[in-house]
């Protein structure tokens, strides 16, 4: 048997591997604190759950249009208008089973041998995996601690080549929590006027998780006019409404790409399950208190986590401005990112993810998700401190 060569180029997400190992250790009777996986530890708001149950009771059991039911796409457009004062047609929205599917659709749409796709490094590992899958050139761009892990527009523009077809941006970012300042977003959009062959995929899945101030977010959506026909927005419900397991996301597509995105949906998943789509409407149209409560909780835990990490000799951590990840610098420990990930899990019972799981520029860093209880974070920090002090050479 021989599988297609492209299958062998697929990467993975270490978070799922670490989760499996953590479960195995738990089955052996160890207590593991899981700061590895990236999902809110809150339940989905009850009114959202009720809407799905009602949809099932009301008989919404069948296929839906591949691009999603119209009332959901209209609710997304109303949300876009509420947040960014932009009017878009529901025809440009494609509902998908999770934000990841918009990512896969866009990368498969643009990537092929002889082309280049730019993506953040460190960044969500599926970008690189899928770019590799398509045969496009891997054009990772570094995000650096000295820039608070935000992109610099000038750097990105300088990296564009005639072969660049797609530029992937992610803010707030996984795994660093970096948030692009509004001025850099504007500068990038202005600079892209010189590169009309480049389409932007803005992964805004954490847009409601800007942790400081009132949460105001520098989206690409206000630049729909300037980036006519070449801006794709990846958004969804997973992180905002604690709905990772429901599998629901939305993409805003240039009008001329909607049919292609929909055709890929028809060829793969047909549609998102109907009840989940009704839950999505309830989430967007219902009370938003739970969203704000989660944001406040993540801010408090971020502060706890960062302060605790900075008290541990050998570690230093800048304050992540968004999402729910801390990305401490571990280079002074003398361990590689992979070593510290493995040893913390096996010896200290703390699941974290090596920075290198997110690209080579992640060496020297570790990702900790602070989507966990205050007690779990405090206990994990104690265990990490004890582990590192036991390893340190005694004077």
Q: Which is nearer to ligand PLP, 280 or 314 (CB)?
A: 280
Q: Which is nearer to ligand PLP, 124 or 387 (CB)?
A: 124
Q: Which is nearer to ligand PLP, 97 or 314 (CB)?
A: 97
**The pairing of beta strand 231-236 with beta strand 249-252:** antiparallel
Binding part of the chain for ligand PLP, among 97-105, 211-219, 288-296, 338-346 by CB under 6 A, reads 97-105
Q: Which is nearer to ligand PLP, 122 or 349 (CB)?
A: 122
Min dist CB 239 to ligand PLP, Å, is 7
- The CA radius of gyration of the chain, in Å to the nearest whole number, is 21
Q: Which is nearer to ligand PLP, 101 or 297 (CB)?
A: 101
The reply to whether 100 sits near ligand PLP by the rule CB under 6 A is: yes
Closest-approach residue to ligand PLP (CB): 98
Q: How many CB atoms lie within 10 A of CB 45?
A: 23
The reply to whether 98 sits near ligand PLP by the rule CB under 6 A is: yes
Min dist CB 238 to ligand PLP, Å, is 3
Q: Give the separation between CA 72 and CA 235, rounded to whole angstroms.
A: 14
The reply to whether 238 sits near ligand PLP by the rule CB under 6 A is: yes
The reply to whether 124 sits near ligand PLP by the rule CB under 6 A is: yes
Structural contact between residues 227 and 197, judged by C-beta atoms closer than 8 angstroms: no
The reply to whether 122 sits near ligand PLP by the rule CB under 6 A is: no
Closest CA to 192 of 136, 133, 151, 144: 151
Q: Give the separation between CA 37 and CA 368, rounded to whole angstroms.
A: 9
Q: Give the separation between CA 368 and CA 304, rounded to whole angstroms.
A: 12
Q: Burial of 92 by CB count in 10 Å (0-12 exposed, 13-18 middle, 19+ buried)?
A: buried
| The 325-326 sheet, strands edge to edge | 325-326, 366-369, 353-354
Q: Give the separation between CA 323 and CA 371, rounded to whole angstroms.
A: 9
Q: Burial of 164 by CB count in 10 Å (0-12 exposed, 13-18 middle, 19+ buried)?
A: buried
**Residue 350 β-bridge partners:** 33
The backbone region for 62, taken as left when phi is positive above 0, alpha when psi lies in -120 to 50, beta otherwise, is: beta
The reply to whether 341 sits near ligand PLP by the rule CB under 6 A is: no
Among 38, 122, 140, 308, binds ligand PLP (CB under 6 A): 38
Q: Which is nearer to ligand PLP, 232 or 385 (CB)?
A: 232
Q: Which is nearer to ligand PLP, 284 or 348 (CB)?
A: 284
Binding part of the chain for ligand PLP, among 93-101, 150-158, 334-342, 366-374 by CB under 6 A, reads 93-101
Query: According to CB under 6 A, which residues from 159 to 218 bind ligand PLP?
Result: 170, 174, 203, 205
Enumerate residues 6+ apart whose C-beta is below 8 A from 42.
Answer: 242, 290, 294, 297
Min dist CB 205 to ligand PLP, Å, is 4
The reply to whether 36 sits near ligand PLP by the rule CB under 6 A is: no
Query: According to CB under 6 A, which residues from 240 to 299 bind ligand PLP?
Result: 244, 249
Min dist CB 168 to ligand PLP, Å, is 10
Min dist CB 175 to ligand PLP, Å, is 8
Q: Which is nearer to ligand PLP, 164 or 238 (CB)?
A: 238
User: 272-294 burial by CB neighbour count: b if 16+ within 10 A, else e?
Assistant: bbbbbbbbbbbbbebeeebbeeb
Structural contact between residues 361 and 325, judged by C-beta atoms closer than 8 angstroms: no
**The pairing of beta strand 137-142 with beta strand 116-121:** parallel
Structural contact between residues 286 and 199, judged by C-beta atoms closer than 8 angstroms: no
Among 36, 45, 68, 99, binds ligand PLP (CB under 6 A): 99
Q: Which is nearer to ligand PLP, 217 or 387 (CB)?
A: 217
Min dist CB 244 to ligand PLP, Å, is 5
User: Interface with ligand PLP by CB under 6 A: which residues?
Assistant: 38, 98-100, 124, 170, 174, 203, 205, 236, 238, 244, 249
């Amino acid at each position: 048997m021989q599988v297609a060569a492209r299958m062998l180029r697929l990467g993975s997400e270490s978070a799922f591997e670490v989760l499996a190992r953590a479960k195995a250790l738990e089955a052996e009777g160890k207590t593991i604190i899981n700061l590895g996986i990236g999902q809110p530890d809150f339940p989905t708001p009850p009114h959202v759950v009720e809407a799905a149950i009602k949809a099932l009771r009301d008989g919404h059991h069948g296929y839906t249009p591949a691009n999603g039911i119209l009332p959901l796409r209209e609710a997304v457009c109303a949300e876009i208008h509420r947040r960014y004062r932009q009017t878009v047609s529901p025809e440009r929205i494609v509902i998908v089973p999770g934000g990841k599917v918009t990512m896969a659709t866009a990368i498969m749409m643009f990537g092929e041998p002889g082309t280049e796709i730019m993506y953040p490094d460190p960044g969500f590992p599926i970008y690189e995996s899928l770019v590799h899958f398509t045969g496009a050139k891997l054009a990772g761009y570094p995000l650096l601690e000295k820039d608070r892990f935000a992109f610099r527009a000038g750097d990105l523009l300088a990296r564009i080549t005639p072969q660049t077809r797609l530029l992937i941006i992610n803010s707030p970012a996984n795994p660093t929590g970096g948030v692009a300042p509004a001025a850099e977003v504007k500068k990038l959009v202005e600079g892209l006027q010189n590169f009309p062959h480049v389409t932007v995929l803005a992964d805004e899945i954490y847009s409601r998780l800007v942790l400081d101030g009132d949460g105001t977010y520098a989206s690409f959506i206000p630049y729909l006019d300037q980036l006519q026909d070449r801006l794709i927005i990846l958004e969804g419900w997973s992180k905002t409404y604690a709905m990772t397991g429901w599998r629901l996301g939305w993409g805003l597509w240039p009008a001329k790409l909607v049919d292609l995105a929909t055709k890929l949906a028809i060829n793969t998943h047909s549609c998102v399950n109907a009840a989940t789509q009704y839950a999505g409407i309830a989430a967007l149209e219902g009370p938003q208190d739970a969203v704000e409560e989660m944001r406040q909780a993540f801010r408090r835990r971020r502060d706890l986590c960062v302060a605790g990490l900075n008290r541990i000799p050998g570690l230093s951590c800048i304050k992540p401005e968004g999402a729910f990840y801390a990305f401490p610098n571990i280079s002074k420990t003398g361990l590689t990112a992979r070593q510290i990930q493995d040893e913390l899990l096996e010896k200290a019972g703390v699941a974290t993810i090596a920075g290198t799981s997110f690209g080579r520029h992640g060496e020297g860093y570790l990702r900790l998700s602070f989507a966990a209880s205050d007690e779990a974070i405090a206990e994990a920090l104690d265990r990490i401190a004890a582990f590192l002090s036991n390893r340190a050479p005694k004077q």
